[in-house]
Amino acid sequence: MTRENIFRRYLVSFDSKTLQHIFTDTLIVGSGVAGLSSAIHAAKDGSVLIVTKAKINENCTEYAQGGIAAGLCPEDSFEEHINDTLRTGQGLCDAVIVSGVVREGTKRVKELIDWGAKFDKENGELIFTKEGGHSHPRILRARGDSTGKEIEDTLVGMVNKHPNIRVFEYTFAIDLLVSNNTCDGIIAWRSREGKMLIWAKQIILASGGCCQVYRETTNPEIATGDGIAMAYRAGVELQDLEFVQFHPTTLYVAGAERVLISETVRGEGGILKNKNGERFMPKYHPKAELAPRDVVSRSILLEIYRTGHTHVYLDVRHISEKKLSTRFPKIKKLCASFGIDISRQLIPVHPSAHYMIGGIKVDQGGRTNIKNLYACGEVSCTGLHGANRLGSNSLLECLVYGYRASREISSELRKMKDGLSPHSFKEISKNDRHCELDLEDVKNSLKSLMWRNVGIERDDKHLKEVVENIDLWCKYIINNEFSTPLGWEVQNMLTVARLISISASKRKESRGVHYRLDFPDNNDKCWKKHIVISNGKYTIIP
């Protein structure tokens, strides 16, 4: 079965004979922790080019507050971390992958520390905190609630001083160049040079997530699912796209971005209350505020419905002001900018789309089904998270798979000849329509539709409505030829939103972050399986 007709193979027309050509041994799309860490390792065996569509530090890593789960606490054990991950993943984790990432992750975190990352300490010892779903404090943090920024700054520093690494900022990766099931590079766009072809012996997609397809999201504006969409167009296998994780607590103030209120706030004693001032989590789960994220998100939604209010509140007034200033300086400052003194006032919170659990299907080394193409980080689906991600496992996965992909690449590069021979590629659009469109309106309409119909709760009627609307929009948007990133982003968002919605409609059960009102029960007999998508074909696999 071929790719669905509503999707183009390439978003733009181009001819390799007329474009600028760039060459590198390893090409990495994305500059978060996965992309940067893989670049540092890959640069030991050849030239590396990092392509990122904004500034190098504009990514989800930069905004990660909570921390990184690592087996460095003496009172903790690998087995407990493994069991917590498997339990949270509700039957869909790959146990071999979980064990490998947890055990290898310690080495990768120590390496990060050797590179200069400064995690918070007390009396010279690392501090560990606890998050929902974890049986033990094992979360390392930095700068209180700016762990991601500390990690990103450390990796950017390493990248900037490495002679084998180049960085192209403000460069949009439009599509993968694939022939004979082999990826040879990408077609990209830079504001000054326009379209160009970047050729590489090995390519890593580390382009991050896609939660900007939702109206309420913690993700920065760049998280539009470009990597997933371009992979789909190239025939790469995707898996588990129905599993989108919603973070329970984001700041809910009119005019404010839905900024994350870290799970570690609840780990340090923050209490959720409804509009009547009642603590409600103990009635939904024995771990109360530290239940897995899917449970907390749905519980908040139920309280919103029950009380007829737009949000709930996070109460940290019982925590000392000194501790709040030390542990959560960023959150304290953010709330203060909206007139909220968190030491004396409740924090209004509401769930938001946070993390794409599914993505590009990869093996233990980060390989995809396309030769020379790898994926790591949020854009990938490794089998670590299953149906629900355990908090702070994402940065750990990025470090481990960034290393694994680069290790595989180094092995391949040593077998390959020096130099690159570009192929002849030519794509001419068969559709000469160039509609004038209000792309911001299309984007906002899509985000609202996805939030209403493919959010924390789903059902068949509303999922079908989404697909019908997207198919209508695709008729005049997908085949339109755009010349700027906004147009390509909208096309990618429509592609990813459709894939999420169809996957969600096919999984007729509730599991982890995927909750169906019309199929509220878990069904292991029929659905302890994965949905894999490639070239328009949906396959159910064990």
Q: Could you report the per-residue pLDDT of 6-37, keeping only the tens digit for each?
A: 678 999 999 999 999 999 999 999 999 999 99
Q: Which of these, 216, 258, 240, lies nearest to 455 by C-alpha position? A: 216
The answer to whether residue 514 scores a pLDDT higher than 80 is yes
* 147 contacts: CB under 8 Å, gap ≥ 6: 64, 65, 66, 67, 68, 119, 140, 141, 395
Interior angle at CA 100, CA 98 and CA 103, nearest 5? 105
What crossing angle do the helices spanning 147-160 and 393-413 adopt, rounded to 10°?
20
204-208, 240-244, 256-260: segment of lowest average pLDDT: 256-260
The answer to whether residue 441 scores a pLDDT higher than 60 is yes
Query: In this prediction, what percent of the chain has a pLDDT beyond 90?
Result: 85
Write the DSSP symbol of residue 135.
S
153-157, 426-430, 466-470: segment of lowest average pLDDT: 426-430
| Helix or strand holding residue 175 (H, E) | strand 171-179
- Written as six digits, the tokens of 61 are 């890593």
Distance, in Å, from the CA atom of 194 to the CA atom of 184, rounded to the nearest integer, reads 20
Q: Please state, as a whole number, how many other Cβ atoms lie within 10 Å of the Cβ of residue 409.
A: 29
Asked if 540 contacts 508 with a C-beta cutoff of 8 angstroms, the reply is no
pLDDT tens figures, 139-165? 999 998 889 999 999 999 999 999 999
3-state secondary structure 305-344: HHHCCCCEEEECCCCCHHHHHHHCHHHHHHHHHCCCCCCC
Distance, in Å, from the CA atom of 390 to the CA atom of 512, rounded to the nearest integer, reads 11
Q: According to the model, what pLDDT value does residue 2 have?
A: 44
How many residues does the structure list for the chain? 542
Residue 296: CA count within 13 A, CB half-sphere:
33
The answer to whether residue 4 scores a pLDDT higher than 90 is no
What is the residue whose two structure tokens read 């001419």? 428
| Domains of the chain, residue spans | 16-243+357-413, 249-353
Homologous superfamily (CATH) for 16-243+357-413: FAD/NAD(P)-binding domain (3.50.50.60)
| Helix or strand holding residue 50 (H, E) | strand 48-51
The answer to whether residue 313 scores a pLDDT higher than 60 is yes
Interior angle at CA 391, CA 382 and CA 28, nearest 5? 45
The edge-to-edge listing of strands for the beta sheet with 238-239 is 380-381, 359-361, 238-239, 530-534, 537-541
Interior angle at CA 116, CA 147 and CA 142, nearest 5? 20
Residue type, 452: R
The answer to whether residue 5 scores a pLDDT higher than 80 is no
Q: Which of 70-79, 288-297, 487-496 has the highest mean pLDDT?
A: 487-496
Selected catalytic residue, list 108, 293, 327, 404: 293
Average pLDDT for the chain: 94
Q: Which of these, 2, 43, 45, 48, lies nearest to 23 by C-alpha position? A: 48
Active site residue 293: yes
Query: pLDDT grade, residue 532 (50/70/90)?
Result: very high
pLDDT tens figures, 180-198? 999 999 999 998 999 999 9
Distance, in Å, from the CA atom of 281 to the CA atom of 138, rounded to the nearest integer, reads 23
Collapsing DSSP states into helix, strand and coil, what is residue 345?
Answer: coil
Distance, in Å, from the CA atom of 507 to the CA atom of 6, rounded to the nearest integer, reads 23
Q: Which of these, 184, 146, 168, 162, lies nearest to 49 by C-alpha position? A: 168
Q: Please state, as a whole number, how many other Cβ atoms lie within 10 Å of the Cβ of residue 521.
A: 8
Q: Where are the alpha helices (DSSP H) in 129-283?
A: 147-160, 226-233, 263-267
Distance, in Å, from the CA atom of 31 to the CA atom of 48, rounded to the nearest integer, reads 12
Fold of 249-353: Flavocytochrome C3; Chain A, domain 1 (3.90.700)
Distance, in Å, from the CA atom of 145 to the CA atom of 134, rounded to the nearest integer, reads 18
pLDDT tens figures, 472-510? 999 999 988 999 999 999 999 999 999 999 999 999 999
Phi/psi for 506 (5° steps) reads -75, -35
Q: Which of these, 116, 230, 138, 107, lies nearest to 178 by C-alpha position? A: 230
Q: According to the model, what pLDDT value does residue 122 have?
A: 92
Asked if 69 contacts 333 with a C-beta cutoff of 8 angstroms, the reply is no
| Helix or strand holding residue 11 (H, E) | none
Q: Which of these, 245, 198, 268, 234, lies nearest to 387 by C-alpha position? A: 245
Interior angle at CA 367, CA 363 and CA 372, nearest 5? 165
